[in-house]
Amino acid sequence: MSIIGKVDSLWRYPVKSMRGEELDEAFAGFSGVYGDRLFAFKSSASPTGFPYLTAREQQKLLQYRPRFRYPDKAARPINLTEAEKMGANPLPANFAELMVDVESPDGKTLPIDAPALIDMLRADIDQKHRLTLMRSERALTDCRPVSIFSLQSARQLADETGTPMDKRRFRANVYVDLTSAQGFAENKFVGRSLRIGAKVLVTVLERDPRCMMITLDPDTGEKTPAILKKVAQAHEGMAGVYAAVMVEGMLHKGDPVELLE
């Protein structure tokens, strides 16, 4: 084993394509980061295989700020300590305890299931988008349960594009600060396992194929197409990696990241 870096920050996204929230600690379970992407809006105009309304269609989604109504219930599984002692799988809180309220760009706060919120989301897009709320017990991720991205990759892309690079564009769950100064070093982890902190073990399964989302400023939604163009031309359209959780546990900001030999 060798320590290759540390956790820079931890993020989850209670509502798919809305603003994320930074956490000091997070539970990584087999289905992903606890509380991540539990809600999404389904659009009648989206493909069957990817039915969600995202910031690709409604850039203002990135300016909506979701918050769990009961933050303590959403922090970790309710019986985590007991489950770990017994070697059992922890249980999530019930649906009512994992409800979300959303602050709109103009400062209004609405329940996630309020019809008025759907009206807001549809205001600036083609009316062919008929929206319904989706809710899941596990993360509605695009691919694998956990996404990992290095600060070094963000810095390299900034150098390559001549554009300041906010890491939040990449909407990862775990941002890592690697001891190697080389960007895209996480590509070499594919097929290998990482231990993060004292317990969590993940296997890196594949590189992360990127889309228009990384061109959108995480605060304003303004597009910078050169970022996706550079990723496509210089990095085969990939940036960051996806991983599966093999051993569940708590992650913390500053945790060491070890590459298992």
Q: Which residues of 98-110 are buried (b: 16+ CB within 10 A; e: fewer)?
A: bbbbbbbeeeeeb
Phi, psi of 171 (to 5 degrees): 50, 45
Q: What is the pLDDT of residue 160?
A: 97
- Any idea which of 75-79, 96-100, 132-136 has the lowest mean pLDDT? 75-79
* pLDDT band with cut points at 50, 70 and 90 for residue 47: confident
Mean pLDDT of the region 60-76: 96
% of the chain beyond a pLDDT of 90 = 81
Residue 235 scores a pLDDT above 90: yes
**Cα dist from 138 to 28, 133, 175, whole Å:** 12, 15, 21
Q: Which 3-state string (H, E, C) describes 95-136?
A: HHHHCEEEECCCCCEEECCCHHHHHHHHCCCCCCCCEEEEEC
Instruction: Compute CA distances 16 → 33, 64, 141, whole Å.
Output: 13, 11, 8
For 252, the domain range is 2-259
Answer for the pair 146, 202: CB distance below 8 angstroms, yes or no. Answer: yes
- Condensed to tens digits (0 to 9), the pLDDT of residues 95-109 reads 899 999 999 999 999
User: Largest Cα–Cα distance in the chain?
Assistant: 54
pLDDT reading at 254 higher than 80: yes
**Quick one: pLDDT at residue 88?**
81
Tell me what the pLDDT averaged over the chain comes to.
94
Mean pLDDT, range 8-20, rounded to an integer: 97
Q: Could you read off the pLDDT of 114-131 as tens digits, one per residue?
A: 999 999 998 878 778 899
How would DSSP label each residue in 177-228?
EESS--TTGGGGGTTSEEEETTTEEEEEEEEEE--GGGGB-TTT--B-HHHH
Structure tokens at 107: 């400062």
Write out pLDDT tens, residues 152-182: 999 999 999 999 999 999 999 999 999 987 8
Q: Is the pLDDT of residue 194 over 80?
A: yes
249 backbone φψ class: left, alpha, beta (φ>0; ψ -120 to 50): left
Query: Six-digit token pair at 18?
Result: 């809305």
Is the pLDDT score of 1 beyond 70? no
**DSSP run (H or E) holding 6:** strand 2-12
Number of compact structural domains in the chain: 1
Looking up residue 248, the CATH number of its domain turns out to be 2.40.33.20
